[in-house]
Amino acid sequence: MASPFLKEQDQIEATESQDAFTQSRWYRKLVSAGVEENGIMPVPIEQRTETTYNNLFTVFFTDLLCVLPLPTGALGTAVYGLNLRDVSLIILFFNILTCIPPAFLAIGGIETGMRQMIQARYSFGFVTAFLGYRAIHLWQRWQWIPSLIGIVIAVGCGGKHLVNQAEKGPATVKAVVGYGSLMAGFFLTFGGTASDFTIYHNPKVSKWKIFTYVYLGLLVPSTPLLILGAAIGGAVPNVDSWQTAWDSYGIGGVLAEMLRPAGGFGKFILVILGLSVIGNTVMSNYSVGLNLQMLIPIFAKVPRIIFVIVTMAVMIPMAIYAANEWATSLENFLALIGYWAGCFDAIIIEELVVFRRMKYSKFDPRIWKEGKRLAPGFAAIGASLISLGLVVPSMDTTWFTGPIGARVGDLGFEFAFVVTAIAYYPLRSLEIKWTGRV
C-alpha cells in the first residue's frame, strides 16, 4: 500500500536510487536479517507500530549508564577547582533543567515520523549503528546491566578513598558558571538527535508519557555518575597512585587503580567498563550516519550503512588523538557543542511552540525534501549569527577567552539560547510574511 506521506514521485525516485550496491546479494541478506534499510525518509503512520514505550527510557538510560559521565563529573573538582558539594549542586541543577529540551523534542519523532534533523528543515531549510533503529533499542534494553555491575564493583574496591577529598577554596562565580555551561553542553546536544529514536513508535500515546520516559532516561543514570566522577576527581590529589594514573591515562587510569585490589578479576571488570561505552557510540554513529545523508540531496541515495562505516573510520583516529589531552579535549568539545545546541534547541522549540502552535500536523511530510516549499532558513541562520555577538565575548575556553568570559566565566551557552530565541521571533515573522512559507 502506497504511503500517504510520500508523493508518487518520491517513491519512484527512491526506487531509482537503488544502485548495484543495494541490490547486491550480501546487502539484501543484511536487510533480511533485520538491518534497517530506511534512512532519512519520514516513516508513515502505518509503519509506526512500536508500542514498547519503556524502551525510550532504556535507550537513553543505557546510553549514559557507562563510564563517559565520569570524566565530565571529574572536571568540576579536578579542573575547575570546585569542592564536591558545589559540583554536586551544579550537576543537580543543570541536569534537571537541561534534560527538558531533548525530552520535549523527542515527542516530535513520534508525532511526525521524522528524524530530528529532518524536522529542523522546517525552520533551517536545507542546510548498533550498523544494524539500525530496532537493534539499538534491543541492545540498549539489556546492556546497562553489566555496566552497572562493573561500576558498583569499581566503587566497592576503591571507594574507601573517595572520602579523602582535597581541600578546595570557596566557589567562584567564574568556576560555577563555566562548569554549569559544560553540563548544559552535555545534555542539550541530545536535542539534535532525540527524535531519531522515537520515529517508529505509535503516536497514540500521551505526550507526557513519552517526555517522562526520555527525561528520566537522561537524568537517572547521569546524575549519580557525574557526582561519582566529581568525587573521584576530588580525591585524586590525596591518593598518589590515583594522581599518577590520572596524569598518564585520565579517568580510565584511575578506574584501573580502583580495581587493582581485585587482581585479574579487576582487569576483567575494567574491560567490561570499557565496553560500556558501546551503548553510547552506537547511538552516536547511528545519528551521524543519518545526518550525513541529510547534508546534501545526493547523499540521501547513499545507503546508511556506508556512512556508519565511514563515521567509525574517522572517529577512531580522532579519539586516539584527543586522548593525549583528554581533559582539555573534553572541556573544549562540550563547550563548543553547547554553543551550537543552545542555538539549535532554541530555534526548534520556538518554531514548534510559537509558529506552529504545538500542532505537529503543520510539519507536512510531503515536502520534507522540497527546498522551494520549506522555510528558506534565513531567519534560523540569521538568529544564530546574531547570537554570536554575545557568545564570542562570553566564551572562556583554553583556546579563546572573551572579555565577559574572563570576568564571570563561560556564558556562551546561555547567550546562545536566549539571544537566538529573541532574535528568531522577528526574523521568522518577516520570513513568513515575505515568502508565505511556514
Residue 302 has pLDDT above 90, yes or no: no
As a whole number, mean pLDDT of residues 153-162 equals 91
pLDDT tens per residue, range 136-150: 777 777 778 888 999
Q: Which residue has the cell 581541600?
A: 167
Task: Report the alpha-carbon distance of residue 30 to residue 10 in Å, rounded.
Answer: 24
As a whole number, mean pLDDT of residues 262-291 equals 83
Count of beta carbons in the 10 Å neighbourhood of residue 244: 14
> What are 33's strand-pairing partners?
none
Please provide the DSSP assignment of 216-267 as one string. HHHHHHHHHHHHHHHHHHHHGGG-HHHHHHHHHHTHHHHHHHHHGGGHHHHH
Residue 2 has pLDDT above 50, yes or no: no
Query: What is the residue-averaged pLDDT of the chain?
Result: 85
Count of beta carbons in the 10 Å neighbourhood of residue 407: 13
Please provide the DSSP assignment of 156-223 as one string. HHHGGGGG-PPP--PPPHHHHHHHHHHHHHHHHGGGGTGGGGTTTB-S-S-HHHHHHHHHHHHHHHHH
CA-wise closest residue to 71 among 253, 246, 251: 251
CA-wise closest residue to 197 among 310, 124, 121, 108: 108
Predicted pLDDT at 25: 66
Predicted pLDDT at 426: 97
**How sure is the predictor about 26, in pLDDT bands with cuts at 50, 70 and 90?**
low
**How sure is the predictor about 3, in pLDDT bands with cuts at 50, 70 and 90?**
very low
Residue 51 has pLDDT above 90, yes or no: yes
State how far the alpha carbon of 28 is from the alpha carbons of 12, 20, 131, 255, 405, in Å.
20, 11, 13, 43, 54
Instruction: Tell me the range of 16-25, 123-132, 212-221 where mean pLDDT is highest.
Output: 212-221
Q: Which of 235-239, 318-322, 358-362 has the lowest mean pLDDT?
A: 318-322
Predicted pLDDT at 296: 67
> Which residues make Cβ contacts (< 8 Å) with residue 423, sequence separation at least 6?
382, 383, 386, 387
pLDDT tens per residue, range 92-128: 999 999 999 999 999 999 999 998 888 988 998 876 4
Taking the alpha carbons at both ends of the chain, their separation in whole angstroms is 30
Residue 23 has pLDDT above 70, yes or no: no
